[in-house]
Structure 1
Amino acid sequence: NPGQAIGWVTQVGPNWIELETSSPATVLHNGDGLCYYDLQKELVGVAINRAEPASAGRVGHWRVFPKDPMESFKDLRRGTEINRNRDMDWVRLLEKKSSERRIGVWARFQDTSDGFELQLTDEDGHQGSARLQHPHEPARDAQRNEASLREHLGKFGATLFEPIDVSVGLSQPWFVPASVLNPLRRDAIEALESARAAAYRRPERGQPVQPPVNYPEDTLTYLANVFNDQARAFYARHGVKVIAAAYESHEEEGEVSLMITKHCVRFSMSLCPKQAKGVTGVQGTVRAEPLTLINGKEKLTLRFDCKPCEMHVVGKIKRSVLNQAKAEPLTFYRTRPEAKPLH
């Protein structure tokens, strides 16, 4: 991936490279990845160990110190266009948590005649509560005790909920240990989740658009893989006029594309016309002529469509397969025939 062009080389030093960025707003960071094309149009990577402004008064001029020795950067010279394919600032941004869907909850903690109760109400109005029996013990420090209660009651952890507000409505400051608050909070959360599940209503199934939307094409080849009546009826309903049967129907007896791949044999063998583009003495001499793929006695033709950068493996169905697929007469019986004995 060549990345995005950011500028060009202005000077090459013994262990550094000076760059001028095309935009003054471009900032280079330690760990960024740069690259450029050498004279043979091969992509060469430059990993930045340290990046710093070249001078205080020149905006957009940077001096970078690569991790690798300068001798490894072939054809790097003044005027070479530089791309950036790794921006550490962007990478760090992606590593952060982007968005977490949480449901806001109001929590109210209060005392009962024989213990305590925690009530939870979410943004959608669902409620869940939990009670426990526990003796009422006066707290020694009322202010510190209330802060501790709010802290423990507001810990919703990895659940779907987050606290909007935690209110403490005790008749007087009672001491409640964390070993009691934690299971009370978990029980209240389970009750709220159960209430939400019970109130959930599945959305109604969407109705198909009438009249049906037309398919982008009105003719389908065997590549559409239409193999049964339901598939054919679907495309016909959406305006397709000519529908060819799937290849498995054995109706394509001539040579057709059996496989279309992005993997290109010509590119792997350095015989791609795009690779020769711009190379003196080679450009125009390499053409995407067909090749033959031989596997035992079987031969397949490789054709190359360079505009979408695709390779077609072309062949035709074997005669033995066609013979097996010939129609055979069916015999109908008025009653089930007797099974033949097994020998």
Structure 2
Amino acid sequence: MKQVELLAPAKNLETGMAAINYGADAIYIGAPKFGARSAASNTLEDIGELIKYAHKYWAKVFITMNTILYDNELKEAEELIHQLYKLGADALIVQDMGILEMNLPPIELHASTQTHNYDLERIKFLEQVGFKRIILARELSLDQIKEIRKNTSVELEYFIHGALCVSLSGQCYFSHAIGGRSANRGECSQACRMKYDLVDGEGKVIAKDKHLLSLKDLNLSGHMKELVESGICSLKIEGRLKDSSYLKNVTSYYRKELDDVFEKKKEFRKASSGTVKPNFEPDLEKTFNRGFTNYFFSGRIPEIANFHTPKSLGKEIGKIVAVRNDHFIIDTKFEIHNGDGLCFFNRNKLLKGIQVNGVKGKLIFPNEMNMLVAGAVLYRNNDHEFAKTLKKDNSTRRISTELLLEFKENILTLIATDEDGISASVQLKEEFELARNTEMAITNFKTQLSKSGDSIYSIHTIETNFTEAPFVQAKVLNELRRKVLDSLTENRVAAFQQPKTQALISHPKYHTKNLNYMGNVVNCKAEDFYHKCGVEKIEKGFELQSDYKGKTLMTTKHCLRHEFGMCNKEFSTDKKANQPLYLVDNKNRYKLEFHCQRCEMKIIFE
């Protein structure tokens, strides 16, 4: 059977444990330094705790060290990698090729999506280098994934949910150019979420003050079967800055979707142990989202961006029918509660938010009445009752276990065997009295032993093996059960430890002898790596340069010609479709270049 992994993000220990509790097969979490989310770093102590917790379920913990490194950081990064290895980290997610030239422990290496894993040629190169897994670009379609799978044997990981970077990952220099905050250093200022004007070569404004680069959020929940069949081994949820409530909802939703696929396709199975039955109905629209898109998974589609707002819309719930002095009337099939946060677009297409202070049937009394418009579509971006439910819910992921109680020659033996076939046993020898009623004694044994308490186990069946039952006090049975389950956990963790082998890093020939700044080389070890791969000339990375004029700040599949009906390939033969276009903010003007053969748009610093 093929294992398929549900991979969830973790901002910290709390969110990591929540993701595991609600069904993740693996977690990715930031190291103390050098992760692509500088606001989501963690102590070694917390990482160690998360690893211990995850391994009980045979879930894995991957550490993100996927920034580019400066020369003065190489030694510290190498020491940190060794510390993470000693903690039991299952893999390291990296971007900087300089790491490959370090004295590494035998830890599994994953090529971050930041290594620009878009072209088959690049992916085959990284496979030959020695990466165990490659995290594919979000822009890839299902057909492209299948083609990559057909031509490679390396493990493939792919994003299925969450925020989208509008630029090809690892190829965005916008944030650094305008504010000195490098996306490749984990400090992205999200320039793509800002407002811009779209202007043509004659100065005509095509769009004014719009979030022209702000993509909707990815949602491939309707494509789980296709993804599983495509050969992807790990399905990844984005969100290392999200809270526990978000992780509970989104992880449990995708856990159910995947399990439904596995139920029908027996050749696939989940990659860790245990099941969880949350006390709520997961709903992706009820937690943070900017509206959803499947991006390029099924080919290019319209409206992958939301030009009006980069904020969360939540779930569409109905329309405003009429507006009165202190309330409005809503047409909805959903129940509205005090404390709900609602939003809508006003006549100027600006997103406005209100809070519900009172509800009387279809009459909604908000905290303010400004800008309310009859006919406006309403969204609920804060479902107050759902949020309370998520916060209170502490569902526990349980591993199904069978118990066998044996009694022979005054020795009481309790054997536990879990769903993975791992066993443990404990014995108690003493002079037991025999129970007067064997049948009643067995009933009492099963009642007492079935109470697994706050352990990670659920007792599925209890069998007994004796003809005469001993008399055993409840507290003795409880202690036997506690000991055997503790021993089972130790055996599970021991069985999960895979033999570590040193990654065989090689230096295959790179496809070009000249590497420009988009190679993201900012340290001497990365230079050494590419030189060994046959590269002769290496331009310094963007972060080491001072003159950005004429340089590409972003390469994206999101195309503004296409979005505004000016695509040469699909919409227009008008010569005006070929005239220059520019993005303009309150400080700069950026030229747009369109590479129609690759269906890409570039943003150039002027």
Tell me whether the two structures share a fold, i.e. TM-score over 0.5. Answer: yes
User: Percent identical across equivalent pairs?
Assistant: 24
Aligned to 1:20: 331
Contact 1:9 1:19 in 2 (8 A): yes
Instruction: Answer with 1 or 2: which has the greater Rg.
Output: 1
Does residue 231 of the first structure (1) align with residue 526 of the second (2)? yes
Residue aligning to 1:45: 353
Structure 1 residue 177: Cα displacement: 0.9
SS at match of 1:184: helix
**Which residue of 2 is the match for residue 33 of structure 1?**
341
Q: How does 1:242-321 map to 2 (within 5 A)?
A: 243-246=538-541, 252=545, 254=547, 288-290=585-587, 303=588
Q: Deviations over 1:215-270 (max 9, x none)?
A: 9xx85328924221x31354567898863224786xx464679xx9xxxxxxxxxx
Among residues 455, 458, 463, which one is paired with 1:162 in the alignment? 458
Cα shift readout 1:124-144 (whole Å, capped 9, x = no counterpart) = 333221111333234456554
Residue 481 of structure 2 corresponds to 185
Pair 1:65-2:372 in alignment: no
Q: Does 1:220 align with 2:516?
A: yes
Deviation at 1:120, TM superposition (A): 1.6
How well do the aligned residues superpose, as a CA RMSD in angstroms? 4.5
CA distance in structure 2 between the partners assigned to 1:65 and 1:239 by the alignment:
68
| Shift of residue 27, structure 1, vs aligned partner | 1.8
User: What is the match of residue 8 of structure 1?
Assistant: 319
Q: Which one-letter code corresponds to 1:288 in the other structure?
A: D
Quote the offset at 1:106 in angstroms: 1.7
AA paired with 2:427?
R
The aligned residue for residue 380 of structure 2 is 84
- Is the CA contact 2:401–2:458 (under 8 Å) kept in the aligned structure 1? yes
Identify the residue that residue 445 of structure 2 maps to in structure 1: 149
Q: CA deviation at 1:165?
A: 0.8
Equivalent residue letter for 1:9:
I
Q: How does 1:103-142 map to 2 (within 5 A)?
A: 103-139=399-435, 142=438
Of 36-45 and 155-164, deviating more is 36-45
Residues in 2 aligned to 1:73 and 1:155: alpha-carbon distance in whole angstroms:
54
CA distance in 2, matches of 1:208, 1:108: 48
* Cα offset, 1:108, TM superposition: 0.9
Give the gaps of 5 or more residues in structure 1.
Answer: 54-62, 261-286, 291-302, 315-343
Helix, strand or coil: the match of 1:171?
coil
TM-score, with length taken from structure 1: 0.56
Name the CA shift for 1:198/1:67 in 2 (closer, same or farther; >3 Å). same
In terms of mean alpha carbon deviation, does 203-212 or 142-151 score higher? 203-212
Where does the alignment leave 5 or more consecutive residues of structure 2 unmatched? Answer: 1-310, 554-583, 593-600
What letter matches 1:245 in structure 2? K
Query: Following the alignment from structure 1 to structure 2, what is the Cα–Cα distance between the partners of residues 304 and 140?
Result: 91
- State the alpha-carbon separation in 1 of the partners of residues 312 and 496 from structure 2: 49
* Inter-partner Cα distance in structure 1 for 2:490 and 2:537: 53
Q: Is the 8 Å Cα contact of residues 396 and 456 (structure 2) preserved in structure 1?
A: no
Alpha-carbon distance in structure 2 between the residues aligned to 1:40 and 1:122: 60
Pick 1 or 2: higher relative contact order, CA cutoff 8 A, min separation 6. 2
Tell me, in whole angstroms, the C-alpha distance in 2 between the residues paired with 1:240 and 1:97. 54
Q: Answer whether contact 1:223 1:247 (CA < 8 A) is retained.
A: no
- Which of the two has greater helix per residue? 2
Distance 1:304 1:96 in 2: 49
How many residue pairs get aligned? The number is: 250
TM-score, reference length from structure 2? 0.34
